[in-house]
Amino acid sequence: MNTPNIAMPGASLSSQASVPRTISYAQAFYWSVRREFWENRLLYLAPMAAAAIFLFSFVINTIILRRSMHGVWPAHTAQHDVLSLPYDMSAALIMGIALIVGIFYSLDTLYGERRDRSILFWKSLPVSDLTTVLSKLSIPLVIIPVLSYVITVATQFIMLLLSSAVLLGSGANIAALWTQESFFRGSLDLFYHMLTVHGLWYAPLYGWLLLVSAAAPRAPFVWAVLPPFVLWGVEKMAFNTTYFLSLLMVRLMGPPDPEMAMSKNADFMSTLIPRHFFDQPGLWIGLVVAAVFVAATIQVRRYRGPI
Amino acid sequence: MACIEARGLRKSFGTTVALDGVNFSVEEGRILGMIGPNGAGKTTALNAILGLTPYQGELRVLGRNPWTERDQLMRDVCFISDVAILPRWIKVSQALDYVAGVHPRFDRAKAEAFLAKTTVGRNRKVKQLSKGMVAQLHLALVMAIDAKLLVLDEPTLGLDLLYRKQFYDSLLNDYFDRTRTIVVTTHQVDELQNVLTDVMFMDRGRILLDCSMEEIESRYVELTVQPAQVAAARSLKPIYERNVLGRSLMLFDRADRPQLSALGEMRTPGIADLFVAVVGDHAGETKGAEV
């Protein structure tokens, strides 16, 4: 420290101004999303673990099934249920896990960066709050649905292979597995469901969670749950109505589908397609609300520092 | 164009005034030390410069408004706060990947070359590194960025002497050139004495002294007074007086040097002593300033 070389010629390596590369918006966005996966490995590990556990129990189930069949294929009426039930369950399980992961991710992400003070590091880089918040929003809205769809389809494909292998030589008609299950149509239905319901319909939910995550001084879970609870209580006390509650329930239970209730023996995959999804005002109102929440989140993050 | 230009910069939190309408400017190529007790407003000033907090008054950093143009500004500005801010979960290689991915002026080869001289492993996570190694990693990232302004807020807090020395040596030998500007706050003033080109003393949101090191050398004199001359020296109105090992030390502002030389031994005061002299009397409840 006694002899700083500030005046020494040639002491600096970096006086030659290098021509800066250009970083496109897409590139900044890509790396912002990528770093979310470094931080939150649960985003892909949880659905993958769910799939692995499910496959394990499926193998056991198939072996037991084969023993009980004694070479006799189930009667035609029962056939559909026996075949499609495990596939529906695998989709439901992975989807449910993905939903939970997405909710907890959204609630923690902008709170966590303030808690561990790393927000100062992120803000020391040329990445705008807009890019940051949108990349974080894209995780529950797009990335998790697509990812869990891919995992579900892969799981179902492995299930098909497994049951074919187990049933091989049992006398059962293996070809029925591949044709009657209409595997590929089902998976398209699932994809549609993931993007519409998990992406678009739940958008205001994720927007709200991100806003709370950015704003809460502590305990974001309490801040996320308390306001709706208070709103419900106040409405109930003041007007003795529960509009807010029913609004909330509709939002959480998925879009209403009047035609669904009629068709009784529709299988699980087709329940995933709400009819007239894009005609529902609820969808568009929800998207507007989501946009307001996200815009507020971007503003709030500008003002926030470490806690 | 000045690198940083502040006019009437003001910031309050409720009734607490953190910055009380200060004016200052930092020219390109300077190394400014902001020195002051906790709560003096240093960090608030730095946060305003970095676009981390809104403020009142006028502030331009590299010609930009930091609050509205933070993301563009950060292409030319680097920032190290105390070492705790690198995310604990990130791997060294991921930190390099990420900064290379989002920063147009980051030279990855330079960062790798710097890290190669340290014991920081590529596959280690930040939480597995010692505090000194985290500082090395952060310095490697920052030094590989061709920035115009580097802001350091207590960059060596909690580091041992060897790491501190290495930190500033690297910064000066490998990074600083006359075209870059560095603004640093620290409590370890004496270690920075020979590094700084300018100092700014702050207390309770105000700037008490803002001048270059040359000005300090020409303006202030510390006199080790001969015992027989104490009364004579005192009559010249020292701004500060203390006793060290039985000798009387007095600090003079713009004193007549030939006159002083007859009374004892003259030298340029240390920044820490000068700080106590200038701020100590004003500091009131913040006495015991951590310098």
User: What's residue B165's pLDDT?
Assistant: 86
Please give the model's pTM, rounded to 2 decimal places.
Answer: 0.85
Scanning B201-240 for CB atoms below 8 A from A yields: none
Whole-complex ipTM: 0.87
CB contact under 8 A, A31 and B175: no
CA–CA distance, B220 with B269 (Å, rounded to integer): 7
Coarse DSSP helix, strand, coil percentages of chain B, rounded to the nearest 5 percent: 35, 30, 35
Residue A3's pLDDT is: 38
Closest CA to B225 of B205, B253, B244, B248: B248
Min distance B142 CA to chain A CA atoms (Å): 10
Within 13 Å of residue B132, how many CA atoms lie on the same side as its CB? Answer: 12
* Contacting residues of B for A21, CB less than 8 Å apart: 104-105
Could you tell me how far CA A303 lies from the centroid of its own chain? 28
Q: Nearest C-alpha of chain A: how many angstroms from B229?
A: 33
* Interface residue of A19, A121, A131 to substitute, partner B, most B CBs within 10 Å: A121
**β partners of residue B17:** B12
Q: Which residues pair with B35 in a beta bridge?
A: B201
A interface toward B at CB cutoff 8 Å?
A: 1-6, 11-15, 17-18, 20-23, 27-28, 30-32, 34-35, 38-39, 113, 116-118, 120-121, 123-129, 131, 302-303, 305-306
Across residues B171-200, what is the average pLDDT? 86
Number of cross-chain residue pairs from A and B with Cβ atoms under 8 Å apart: 131
Return the pLDDT at A194: 82
Among B73, B85, B91, the residue with its CB nearest the CB of A121 is B85
pLDDT per residue over B235-260, tens digit each?
888 888 888 888 889 999 888 888 88
- Cβ of A249: how many Cβ atoms within 10 Å? 10
The chain A residue lying nearest B169, using CA atoms, is: A1
Residues B141-155 have pLDDT tens digits of 998 999 999 999 888
Domain spans of chain A? 25-303
Phi first, then psi, for residue B125 (nearest 5°) are -90, 155
Residue B262 has pLDDT above 90, yes or no: no
Using DSSP, state whether B183 is helix, strand or coil: strand
Pick A275 or A103 by higher pLDDT: A103
Nearest CA in chain A to B180: A15
Give the residue-averaged pLDDT of B173-193.
Answer: 84
